[in-house]
């Protein structure tokens, strides 16, 4: 994007476009169905049921990227990773690493503030089975690209899972990916041509944490590495 084009964009403008997006009919139908039908434990809650923009510190040097909002997490609360088990792990880790003012987030107005960090998802709508199609992923990618352009101090990205890792390579690599393609492995660090470092992490999904594939010490180490790389 040219400097003039960049100046015309803003986080507020981008957020306004994301929350009304209806580009992907399958995702629109699913997120709204979930918001109507709910689950028993949240039957008395009003669901957000729309796409979710990223959030955090506009001067962030750290970008945290997940796959997509959880159907009964972010799709309910209106903020990505807020109100689900994955978010419990993420915000505890961010707090311990000094990127968040509190270790938990249950609602969009709970006082959570991020420091030098921005949290987003590669796909902005909750997908059925947590599996967006390639076309849906491509349709959503420009939103993440614009987020990244607005994060002008960005130095490090933490990719939560292989899907987020691929999104980081595509968006942050700007078509100039290292060859051979970097390999995803928990704790691995890959430098991209523009100087941004990508740190890989297993996603803190309930499946990964309950089976012990991801332990809190190993998750904390990812953010310790990110902090060191930020300088």
Q: What is the pLDDT of residue 181?
A: 84
User: Would you kindly state where each structural domain of the chain is located, as residue ranges?
Assistant: 3-230
Q: What is the largest CA-CA distance in the chain?
A: 51
| Nearby residues of 218 by Cβ (< 8 Å), 6 or more positions away | 186, 187, 202
| C-alpha angle 26-27-30 in degrees, rounded to nearest 5 | 85
- N- to C-terminal Cα distance for the chain? 27
Residues in contact with 27: Cβ distance below 8 Å, sequence separation at least 6, in sequence order: 123, 125, 126, 127, 132, 136
Give the whole-angstrom CA distance, residue 147 versus residue 56: 11
Residue 4, classified by CB atoms within 10 Å of its CB into exposed (0-12), middle (13-18) or buried (19+), is: exposed
Estimate to the nearest angstrom the gap between the alpha carbon of 69 and the chain centroid.
Answer: 8
pLDDT at residue 63, rounded to an integer: 98
Q: What is the pLDDT of residue 178?
A: 67
- pLDDT of the residue at 4: 35
Distance CA 196, CA 86 (A): 25
pLDDT score at 104: 97
Q: What pLDDT does residue 194 have?
A: 83
Please name the fold of domain 3-230: Uracil-DNA Glycosylase, subunit E (3.40.470)
Q: What integer pLDDT is reported at residue 8 of this predicted model? A: 65
Quick one: tokens of 48?
Answer: 């957000």
Q: Which residues pair with 158 in a beta bridge?
A: 64, 199
Q: What is the pLDDT along the chain (231 residues), one digit of tens a residue?
A: 333 344 468 999 999 999 999 999 999 999 999 999 999 999 999 999 999 999 999 999 999 999 999 999 999 999 999 999 999 999 999 999 999 999 999 999 999 999 999 999 999 999 999 999 999 999 999 999 999 999 999 999 999 999 999 999 999 987 666 678 899 999 999 999 889 999 999 999 999 999 999 999 999 999 999 999 998
The Cα angle at residue 162 between residues 94 and 154, in degrees rounded to 5:
50
The CA-based angle 136-140-146, given to 5 degrees, is 165
Q: Look-up: residue for tokens 């109507």?
A: 36
Instruction: Return the pLDDT at 6.
Output: 46
- What is the predicted pLDDT for the residue at 168? 96
- State the pLDDT at residue 177: 65
Residue 122: its pLDDT value, please? 98
Q: Give the DSSP letter string of 44-96.
A: TSPP--S----EE-TT-SEEEEES---TTTHHHHSSTTTTSHHHHHHHHHHHH
Q: Are 34 and 73 in contact (CB under 8 A)?
A: no
Whether this model's pTM surpasses 0.75: yes
């Amino acid at each position: 994007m040219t400097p003039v084009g960049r100046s015309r964009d803003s986080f507020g403008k981008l957020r306004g476009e994301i929350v009304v997006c209806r580009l992907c009919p399958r995702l629109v139908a699913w997120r709204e169905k979930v918001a109507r039908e709910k689950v028993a434990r949240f039957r008395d809650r009003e669901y957000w049921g729309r796409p979710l923009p990223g959030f955090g510190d506009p001067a962030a040097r750290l970008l945290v990227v997940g796959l997509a909002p959880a159907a009964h997490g972010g799709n309910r609360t209106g903020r990505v990773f807020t109100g689900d088990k994955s978010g419990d792990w993420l915000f505890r880790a961010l707090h311990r690493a000094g990127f968040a003012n509190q270790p938990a987030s249950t609602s969009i107005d709970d006082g959570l503030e991020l420091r030098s960090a921005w949290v987003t998802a590669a796909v902005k709508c909750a997908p059925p089975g947590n599996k967006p199609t390639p076309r849906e992923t491509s349709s959503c990618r420009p939103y993440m690209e614009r987020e990244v352009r607005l994060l002008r101090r960005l130095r490090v990205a933490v990719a939560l899972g292989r899907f987020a890792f691929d999104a980081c390579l595509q968006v942050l690599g700007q078509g100039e990916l290292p060859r051979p393609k970097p390999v995803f492995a928990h704790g691995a660090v890959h430098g991209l041509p523009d100087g941004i470092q990508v740190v890989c992490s297993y996603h803190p999904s309930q499946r990964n944490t309950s089976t012990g594939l991801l332990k809190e010490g190993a998750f904390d180490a990812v953010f310790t590495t990110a902090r060191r790389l930020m300088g």
